[in-house]
């Protein structure tokens, strides 16, 4: 299975059968490269402009933008309701965590999660192989909260997203604010946007990708 980071909260997940899933696609409003991959499935965690541009994705994908359980091309996807803020959604609205079950792996994309989820949600996120989580704060959980959530979920691998980069000037914090919680030998840094999950050395806890 391969994971590619386009930037912000948008990833391309390609399973061993070649099924392609794109999460939270953005449009030209963000400085990252225009998304050019085709996909079979697109997930939209919430309807903000930097996460909901399904129209940019080629390939006539199935669009999933609601809670519930869906199966597309043998990929099971569960949308779990959460909030975009700590005020029951009154500030920024709803958010959907997507649990993606594919080729024996459990992957969770947290979207713009704005709070520490309750125990009912955490139970659904047990035994995760990969956790894609925002760490930049302001609009989402911050670095400290993200680390706290990692300690609760204990995923096999953490993939941080939605943080400040050298081309994104959003008022969010950089990656180092999150990775400082981990010993450097637990972090696997890739000088490209894409990685084959099977190539990651054993014992690594955090995967840091470059954007496209």
**To the nearest whole percent, how much of the chain has pLDDT over 70?**
100
Question: pLDDT tens-digit profile of 72-108?
Answer: 999 999 999 999 999 999 899 999 999 999 988 999 9
Instruction: Detail the DSSP E strand segments found in 84-205.
Output: 94-102, 105-109, 130-134, 157-161, 187-189, 194-196
Does the pLDDT of residue 1 top 90, yes or no? yes
| More confident position, 169 or 71 | 71
The Cα 104–Cα 120 span in angstroms is: 23
Q: Taking the domains of the chain in order of start, what are their residue ranges?
A: 2-208
- CATH C-level class of 2-208: alpha beta
pLDDT at 103: 85
């Amino acid at each position: 299975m391969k994971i590619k980071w386009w930037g912000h909260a948008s990833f391309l997940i390609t399973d061993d059968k070649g099924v392609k899933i794109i999460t939270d696609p953005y449009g030209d409003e963000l400085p990252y490269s225009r998304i050019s991959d085709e996909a079979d499935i697109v997930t939209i965690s919430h309807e903000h402009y930097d996460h909901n541009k399904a129209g940019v994705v080629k390939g006539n994908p199935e669009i999933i933008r609601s809670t519930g359980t869906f199966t597309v091309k043998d990929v099971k996807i569960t949308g779990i309701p959460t909030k975009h803020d700590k005020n029951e959604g009154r500030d920024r609205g709803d958010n959907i965590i997507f649990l993606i079950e594919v080729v024996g792996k459990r992957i969770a994309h947290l979207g713009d999660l704005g709070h520490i989820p309750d125990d009912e949600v955490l139970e659904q996120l047990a035994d995760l192989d990969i956790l894609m989580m925002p760490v930049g704060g302001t609009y989402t959980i911050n670095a400290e909260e993200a680390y706290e959530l990692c300690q609760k979920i204990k995923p096999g691998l953490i993939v941080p997203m939605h943080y400040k980069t050298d081309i994104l000037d959003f008022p969010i914090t950089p990656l180092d604010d999150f990775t400082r919680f981990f010993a450097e030998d637990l972090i696997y840094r890739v000088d490209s946007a894409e990685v084959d999950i099977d190539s990651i050395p054993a014992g690594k806890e955090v995967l840091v990708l470059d954007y496209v």
